[in-house]
């Protein structure tokens, strides 16, 4: 004789109960969050007893999840606490977890990449992780870059928010780029002077005359 695998409570339907408007659970989202949303939706629809909410659950499950519920041992769910335990315990490992601060810490400034590139990609990564606290963002940023002068500046200015961090870092990168441009221009001028000095005097005069005619 087959056993009834569905949850054991079998209450009557509330007199005034509206159909629950919630996306069916398929195992792809956080089971804890979905289960609480489902319970709230049932209560908003007029159900006050957890026994009925448990019994109604199978209607709001996807096909694969419903099959899991049907094959549970008989009488394994007798309360809301029982349901939470088996439901979350089974589906906690099946859904795709969002990125967290550990994923942010894994992002490192690659050798040869500019500070501005690192700031841009790091900022983009932050935008995909809205739940990460500012302290973790700042720590991940510091551990992932190679610019010692910026580390020193951040240590002195002590930003408290992600916005302050990125503002300081962006301004620092702009300053470094400006200094680099001046340094490169000076190097080019010095190279031209050395080249002019090393030319024979006759060639030097010809080169100056050619330069003046341009």
Q: How far is CA 29 from CA 36, 88, 149, 159, in A?
A: 12, 11, 43, 35
- Between 6-10, 30-34, 44-48, 194-198, the lowest mean confidence (pLDDT) is in 6-10
Q: How far is CA 40 from CA 21, 61, 75, in A?
A: 11, 16, 24
Helices 134-144 & 115-127 angle (0-180, nearest 10)? 150
Structure token digits, residue 203: 């060639």
Residue 103's pLDDT is what?
Answer: 73
Residue 199's pLDDT is what?
Answer: 58
pLDDT tens readout for residues 163-199: 999 999 999 988 877 765 655 654 555 565 566 566 5
Residue 90 has pLDDT above 80, yes or no: yes
Averaged pLDDT for residues 202-211: 55
Residue 85's pLDDT is what?
Answer: 93
What is d(CA 93, CA 75) in angstroms, rounded to the nearest whole number?
24
Boundaries of every domain in the chain? 1-97, 101-213
Does residue 115 contact residue 175 with C-beta atoms inside 8 Å? Answer: no
User: pTM higher than 0.75 for the full model?
Assistant: no
Does residue 143 contact residue 105 with C-beta atoms inside 8 Å? Answer: yes
Residue 34's pLDDT is what?
Answer: 93
Count of CA atoms in the C-beta half-sphere (13 A) of 5: 10
Residue 10's pLDDT is what?
Answer: 44
* CATH class entry, domain 101-213: mainly alpha
In DSSP terms, which residues pair with 25 in a beta bridge? 61
Averaged pLDDT for residues 105-120: 85
Residue 82 has pLDDT above 90, yes or no: yes
């Amino acid at each position: 004789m087959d056993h009834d695998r569905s949850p054991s409570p079998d209450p009557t339907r509330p007199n005034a109960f509206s159909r629950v408007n919630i996306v069916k659970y398929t195992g792809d989202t956080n089971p804890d969050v979905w289960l609480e949303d489902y319970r709230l939706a049932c209560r908003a629809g007029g159900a006050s007893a957890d026994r009925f909410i448990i019994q109604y659950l199978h209607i709001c499950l996807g096909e694969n999840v419903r099959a899991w519920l049907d094959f549970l041992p008989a009488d394994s769910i007798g309360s809301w606490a029982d349901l939470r335990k088996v439901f979350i315990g089974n589906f906690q490992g099946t859904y795709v977890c969002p990125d967290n601060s550990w994923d942010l810490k894994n992002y490192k400034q690659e050798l040869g990449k500019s500070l501005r590139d690192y700031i841009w990609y790091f900022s983009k990564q932050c935008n995909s992780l809205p739940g990460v606290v500012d302290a973790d963002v700042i720590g991940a940023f510091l551990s992932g870059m190679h610019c010692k002068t910026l580390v020193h500046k951040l240590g002195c200015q002590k930003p408290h928010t992600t916005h302050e961090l990125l503002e300081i870092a962006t301004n620092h990168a702009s300053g470094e780029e400006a200094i680099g441009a001046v340094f490169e221009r000076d190097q080019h001028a010095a190279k031209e002077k050395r080249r002019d000095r090393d030319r024979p005097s006759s060639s030097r005069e010809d080169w100056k005359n050619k330069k003046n005619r341009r």
